[in-house]
């Protein structure tokens, strides 16, 4: 009975309360989900023969999604009390470093 | 003056840490000083050989090294079946020292690697403990404990060039980075943790311990209602990067997505995504009903995930636990199904005295430290509690896992000792009046009843302070004495040379192993195949530099069973097997003359059992026992025993050493028959000074086609 209400509330809250930058991050995350989903569907349809290629591609999207989600969490105003030592700039620098490591491993693993 | 006190403290800390590192290194050098700088035991000989290959041929050819001098005729794809971390570490040190124009022999680097890393382990124990408590002394105490605790020294004396040498440092340091990442909620620390986790995966198979402990810690935190965004950030960063890092190692490959050991980490990773999303929704929409719904949906999805995992495992998408890992849960599994795992002495359950022997007073301070962790239970203390529980269980199941328990024992004991010392070593006594005044001046929030029931806490008398502090000091001193004694007497003997005492107290070295290996190296042709039991495979490859049939890397059970069958069958059966495998020499270890109990006759029943597992019709363990069920080697021995190749090779011509009727086997304490067993298909090639190693040459086929017994 209240399901549609909950969803409407959620969408309203999101559109009104989320800053522009965070929305940008969310768009990137949605893109990553789409890419990862596509790869997975392709893997299911076409088989996983170069398994390392599938794994590195898929885990690149998963890893990047997770890192972006971490960046989103750390830059959200409401979570500031959780991260007293992480400024938004520091969060972004960490994000860059972690992404570089992730991509190095993925490129190395895809052969 | 506050600044000055601060800098004095820093200097003291640095000096103390250096002294601890010095003590950690120095206490591991007994064997080098007493004997010489050589590699001990069995496994390190392979690591040493691989390191020499790496240094000689460069990294790339080491990475895809096909070794055709082991497991003849199969060979071993070494690059894909070892953990390369240890070899690469010493290779890097070797080249770094050369670049600094300090050319050190690679053997000395390998021998002294473990002591050097023990200093680093002590330092990382210091860092880890400092994350747990605010007490200034706990970290230093933990470092001191870690530096000299025999539980860790046993696997890291100089010459013990095994994976554990660097793995324990990486274990403790990875835990430190994990705690740091969790506390700060920082991606960078999570990434560092993942990198060191990757290094750990490259070094030791025990990395599965970390892979299971970190998700378990996260899971316990979630169940306690301590989910936080910091947990999300640190765990997911660690998992995403760490899993990819671990898959770079060829030996690990796809295991992190395919085996059950790694599934807890994946499950918690998925569960955390869900929790993060629900957490966001909860912050967006308040409402009591919705929260209950969240709770149920979380539990429901977790259950479905678990069910999916079970189905995937039983359907075969995910490999079940490996035998070694599984035998930790079902402790009788290995003995029944995989005799080769049960045959290794360090896979046995631990006896009580071993805990006291290896950890002395730490073992009774350990529960107190864990209890103190409960008192102010923050996220990092939950980690210590979880680690303590699982570490103790595993150490109780298997002797060699005492090694993974030791770090947490040192940390918890250091917390206990430092809390005692902090209470009793405070020179300033509060006077009862002051305390009472302070209590009264507090705003009267607490009820009068509570205040009245509360005792006045504090240590007042100088006497009690002195007594407790002195007692603690004496315990600490005794601990140092115990550690030194244990290290010196129990853990500092290279198994390659056997030391014994002459009646006048001087030392007598029995060096039969190297005598025999050197004989093989100098008097046989370059590619002569040596057959021996698998225990000696690595040493033959390392010291004699000859191809072997089986070695300590027991990857092919059938091949080992073939050797076991050849050793435990009659000559007529063994000879064709040896011809088929192009065996040139057979090496047996015999301790009967010297009373050396670790010889092949005592290991013989394991050979029989392993062979029986493959050929139950041809080799039967029952046949090696007398009618009364005794395992005998004297005149009463069964015919199967007397005709087995192992028996013949061990006792061939042994009676000639003694006057008639006096031949005695000193290990079994048995009198032997006066006639020597006859060997038709092989001839004695070499017997070492104390008859510990006997080498036989396999005869060629008879020139005119008779069988050997007739010729």
- Is the Cβ–Cβ distance between B23 and B35 less than 8 Å? no
- Per-residue confidence at B285, pLDDT binned at 50, 70, 90? confident
Does pLDDT of B585 surpass 90?
Answer: yes
Return the pLDDT at B418.
Answer: 94
Average pLDDT, chain B: 89
| Over residues B443-470, mean pLDDT | 67
Q: Tell me the residues of chain B between 235 and 294 that have a Cβ less than 8 Å away from chain A.
A: 236-237, 239-241, 243-245, 247-248, 254, 257, 273, 276, 281, 283-285, 290
- Maximum Cα interatomic distance, chain B, rounded to a whole number of Å: 111
Contacts of B643 (CB under 8 A, 6+ apart): B570, B571
Cα–Cα distance, B571 to B587 (Å, whole number): 15
Separation CA B257–CA B317 (nearest Å): 10
pLDDT tens-digit readout, B82-105:
999 999 999 999 999 999 999 999
Mean pLDDT, rounded, for B473-481:
96
Nearest C-alpha of chain B: how many angstroms from A55? 9
pLDDT digits (tens, 9 = 90+) for A20-48: 999 999 999 999 999 999 999 999 898 88
Judged by a CB distance cut-off of 8 A, whether residue B192 touches chain A is no
- Residue B498 in 3-state DSSP? strand
User: Would you state the pLDDT for residue B275?
Assistant: 86
Distance in angstroms (rounded) separating the CA atoms of residues B133 and B22: 25
Run of H or E including B324: helix B323-326
Residues 131-160 of B with CB under 8 A from A: none
Q: How many CA atoms lie within 13 A of B229 on its CB side?
A: 23
Average pLDDT over residues B206-213: 93
Range of weakest confidence among B294-298, B352-356, B493-497, B526-530: B294-298
Percentage of chain B beyond pLDDT 70 is 93
Which of B421, B465, B457 lies closest to B141, judged by CA?
A: B421
d(Cα B516, Cα B530) in Å, to the nearest integer?
Answer: 12
Band the pLDDT of B39: cuts 50, 70, 90: very high
**Backbone region of residue B578 per phi and psi (left: phi > 0; alpha: psi in -120 to 50; beta: other values):** alpha
Backbone angles phi, psi at B23, to 5 degrees: -65, -40
Q: Where are the alpha helices (DSSP H) in B338-447?
A: 339-342, 352-359, 362-375, 379-397, 402-424, 432-441
> What average pLDDT does chain A have?
90
Q: Say how many C-beta atoms besides its own lie within 10 A of residue A99's C-beta.
A: 19
Q: What is the pLDDT of residues B555-580, one digit of tens each?
A: 889 999 999 999 999 999 999 999 99
pLDDT (mean) for B458-470: 85
Q: What is the mean pLDDT of residues B298-306?
A: 81
Report the C-alpha gap between B620 and B629 in whole angstroms: 13
Cα separation values, B311 from A13, A90, B53, B305, B330, Å:
39, 43, 45, 10, 21
Distance from C-alpha of B584 to C-alpha of B644, rounded to nearest angstrom: 19
pLDDT at B232 over 90: yes
The reported pLDDT for the residue numbered B414 is 96
Q: Give contacts of A66 with chain B, Cβ < 8 Å.
A: 236-237, 239-240, 273
Mean pLDDT lowest for which of A77-81, B225-229, B395-399? A77-81
How many CB atoms sit inside 10 A of residue B535's CB?
A: 18
Q: Is some CB atom of chain B closer than 8 A to the CB atom of A105?
A: yes
Instruction: Note the residue count of chain A.
Output: 111
Q: Is A106 an 8 Å CB contact of chain B? A: yes
Q: What is the pLDDT of residues B655-702, one digit of tens each?
A: 898 888 888 998 988 888 888 899 999 999 999 999 999 999 999 998
CA angle, residues B614, B615, B620, in degrees to nearest 5: 115
Cα B538 from Cα B547, distance rounded (Å): 10
pLDDT higher than threshold 60 for residue B456? no
* Cross-chain residue pair B185–A86, CB shorter than 8 Å: yes
Query: For position A1, what pLDDT does the model report?
Result: 47
- Residue B167: pLDDT above 50? yes
The count of other CB atoms within 10 Å of the CB of residue B20 is 24
Residue range B25-37, pLDDT digits in tens: 999 999 999 888 9
CB A77 within 8 A of CB B213: no
Judge whether A108 is closer than 8 Å to chain B, CB to CB.
Answer: yes
pLDDT of residue B349: 86
Per-residue pLDDT, A9:
78
Q: Omega of the bond prior to B73 within 30 degrees of 0, cis? A: yes
3-class SS shares of chain B: helix, strand, coil, % to 5: 65, 5, 30
Closest Cα partner for B168 from B391, B385, B406?
B406
What's the rounded Cα separation, in Å, for the pair B513 and B589? 9
Write out B122-158 in H/E/C secondary structure: HHHHHHHHHHHCCCCCHHHHHHHHHHHCHHHHCCCCC
Q: What is the mean pLDDT of residues B596-607?
A: 91
- Residues B102-148: pLDDT tens digits? 999 999 999 999 999 999 999 999 999 999 988 888 999 999 999 99
Smallest CA–CA distance, residue A25 to chain B, in Å, is: 15
* pTM across the whole model: 0.91
Instruction: Answer whether B165's CB lies under 8 Å from B86's CB.
Output: yes
User: With 70 as the cut, is the pLDDT of residue B288 above it?
Assistant: no
pLDDT value for B305: 83
What is the pLDDT averaged over residues B438-451?
54
d(CA B207, CA B171): 8
Confidence of residue B80 (pLDDT cuts 50, 70, 90): confident
Q: Does B191 have pLDDT greater than 70?
A: yes
């Amino acid at each position: 009975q209240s399901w549609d209400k909950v969803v409407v509330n959620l969408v309203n809250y999101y559109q009104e309360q989320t800053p522009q930058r965070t929305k940008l991050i969310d768009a990137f995350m949605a893109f990553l989900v789409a890419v990862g989903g596509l790869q997975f569907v392709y893997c299911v349809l076409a088989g996983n023969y170069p398994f390392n290629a599938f794994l590195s591609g898929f885990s690149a999207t998963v890893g990047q999604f997770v890192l972006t989600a971490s960046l989103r969490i750390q830059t959200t105003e409401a979570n500031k009390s959780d991260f007293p030592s992480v400024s938004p700039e520091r969060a972004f620098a960490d994000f860059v470093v972690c992404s570089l490591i992730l991509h190095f491993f993925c490129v190395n693993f895809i052969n | 003056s506050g600044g000055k006190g601060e800098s004095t403290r820093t200097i003291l800390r640095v000096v103390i840490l250096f002294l601890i590192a010095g003590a950690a290194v120095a206490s591991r050098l007994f064997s080098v000083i007493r004997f010489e700088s050589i590699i001990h035991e069995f496994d390190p000989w392979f690591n040493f050989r691989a390191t020499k290959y790496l240094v000689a041929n460069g990294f790339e050819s080491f990475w895809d090294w096909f070794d055709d001098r082991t497991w003849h005729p199969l060979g071993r794809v070494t690059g894909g079946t070892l953990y390369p971390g240890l070899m690469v570490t010493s290779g890097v040190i070797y080249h770094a020292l050369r670049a600094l124009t300090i050319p050190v022999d690679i053997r000395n680097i390998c021998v002294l690697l473990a002591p050097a890393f023990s200093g680093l382990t002590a330092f990382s124990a210091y860092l880890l403990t400092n994350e747990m408590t605010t007490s200034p002394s706990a970290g230093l105490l933990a470092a001191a404990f870690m530096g000299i605790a025999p539980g860790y020294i046993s696997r890291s004396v100089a010459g013990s060039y095994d994976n554990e040498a660097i793995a324990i440092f990486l274990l403790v340091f990875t835990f430190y980075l994990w705690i740091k990442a969790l506390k700060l909620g920082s991606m960078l620390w999570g990434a560092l943790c993942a990198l060191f986790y990757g290094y750990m995966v490259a070094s030791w198979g025990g990395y599965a311990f970390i892979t299971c402990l970190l998700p378990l810690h996260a899971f316990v935190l979630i169940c306690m209602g301590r989910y936080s965004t910091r947990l999300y950030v640190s765990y997911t960063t660690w998992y995403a990067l760490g899993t990819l890092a671990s898959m770079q190692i060829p030996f690990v490959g796809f295991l992190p997505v395919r085996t059950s050991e790694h599934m807890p980490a994946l499950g918690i990773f998925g569960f955390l995504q869900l929790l993060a999303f629900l957490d966001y929704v909860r912050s967006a929409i308040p409402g009591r009903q919705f929260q209950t719904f969240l709770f149920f949906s979380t539990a429901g999805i977790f259950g479905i995930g678990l069910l999916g995992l079970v189905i995937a495992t039983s359907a075969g998408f995910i490999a079940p636990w490996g035998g070694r890992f599984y035998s930790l849960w079902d402790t009788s599994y290995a003995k029944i199904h995989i005799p080769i795992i049960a045959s290794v002495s360090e896979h046995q359950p631990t006896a009580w005295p071993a805990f006291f022997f290896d950890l002395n007073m730490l073992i009774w301070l350990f529960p107190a430290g864990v209890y103190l962790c409960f008192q102010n239970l923050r996220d990092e203390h939950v980690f210590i509690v979880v680690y303590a529980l699982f570490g103790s269980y595993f150490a109780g199941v298997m002797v060699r896992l005492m090694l993974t328990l030791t770090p947490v024992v040192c940390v918890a004991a250091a917390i206990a000792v430092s809390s005692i010392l902090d209470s009793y070593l405070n020179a300033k006594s509060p006077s009862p009046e002051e305390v009472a005044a302070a209590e009264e001046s507090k705003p009267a929030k607490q009820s009068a009843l509570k205040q009245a029931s509360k005792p006045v806490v504090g240590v007042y008398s100088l006497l009690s302070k002195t007594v407790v502090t002195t007692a603690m000091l004496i315990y600490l001193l005794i601990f140092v004495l115990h550690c030194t004694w244990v290290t010196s007497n129990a853990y500092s003997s290279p198994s390659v040379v056997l030391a014994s005492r002459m009646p006048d107290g001087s030392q007598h070295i029995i060096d039969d192993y190297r005598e025999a290996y050197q004989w093989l190296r100098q008097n046989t042709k370059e590619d002569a195949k040596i057959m021996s039991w698998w225990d000696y495979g690595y040493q033959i490859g390392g010291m004699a530099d000859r191809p072997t049939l089986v070695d300590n890397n027991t990857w092919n059970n059938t091949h080992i069973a073939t050797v076991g069958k050849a050793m435990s069958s009659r000559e007529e059966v063994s000879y064709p097997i040896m011809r088929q495998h192009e065996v040139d020499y057979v090496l047996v270890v015999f301790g009967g003359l010297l009373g050396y109990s670790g010889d092949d006759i005592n290991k013989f029943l394991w050979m029989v059992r392993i062979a029986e597992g493959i050929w139950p019709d041809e080799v039967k363990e029952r046949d090696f026992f007398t009618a009364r069920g005794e395992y005998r080697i004297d005149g009463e021995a069964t015919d199967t025993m007397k005709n087995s190749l192992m028996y013949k090779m061990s006792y061939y011509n042994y009676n000639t050493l003694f006057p008639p009727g006096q031949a005695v086997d000193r290990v079994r304490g048995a009198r032997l028959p006066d006639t020597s067993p006859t060997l038709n298909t092989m001839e004695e090639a070499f017997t070492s000074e104390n008859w510990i190693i006997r080498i036989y040459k396999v005869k060629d086929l008879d020139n005119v086609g008779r069988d050997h017994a007739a010729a």
